[in-house]
Structure formats: structure tokens, C-alpha cells
Amino acid sequence: MTIQQIQRLREKQPFEPFRIVAADGSRYDVLHPENLATTGNGRIIVVAMHDYAATLDLLLVTGIEQPIPQKRNGSRRKASCCGV
């Protein structure tokens, strides 16, 4: 993954949300172009999430998902403890 590929996605008109996938399996949704920042050398990217910002080394980015997969309606929830 290169910084140029990510910048092209951010600058695409009209903008289309995308998901950044990290080597540890973490996923970060970029829902607006202003939610993504890069450093001058392009090695570090910052994704602003709803309640925090994730700082990622570009070397640990393994992929991009676009469009962002939608959750299926009626998907099963995990069983809760104690029959609640």
C-alpha cells in the first residue's frame, strides 16, 4: 500500500468512503476526506474516528476495502450471559 493510493482515494470526486485494514486485523472507516491526515513524508496516517484518532504506520496497512461492507440485517448477535 502506498501513500499515493490512499491520497487518490481521499481526493476522488465525488468522495466514496473506504476502509483501511491494518496488519493486526483492525479496520478504520474513512467516511469523509477530512477524517484522514498524512505526515509530510507519507509514512504515518491518522484516521479520525467517532471518538478517537488512530495513528497508523503505512507499512502496517495491508489493504483497502471499498465500498465499505454493510452489516446484514437480521445478523445473529452473540448469546448474552445468564439468559438475559
pTM (2 d.p.): 0.78
Percent of the chain as helix, strand, coil, to the nearest 5: 20, 30, 45
Per-residue pLDDT of 5-60, as tens digits, reads 999 999 999 999 999 999 999 999 999 999 999 998 889 999 999 899 999 999 99
Please state the length of the chain: 84
Closest CA to 61 of 46, 50, 79: 46
The fold for domain 3-69 equals: SH3 type barrels. (2.30.30)
Domain positions in the chain: 3-69
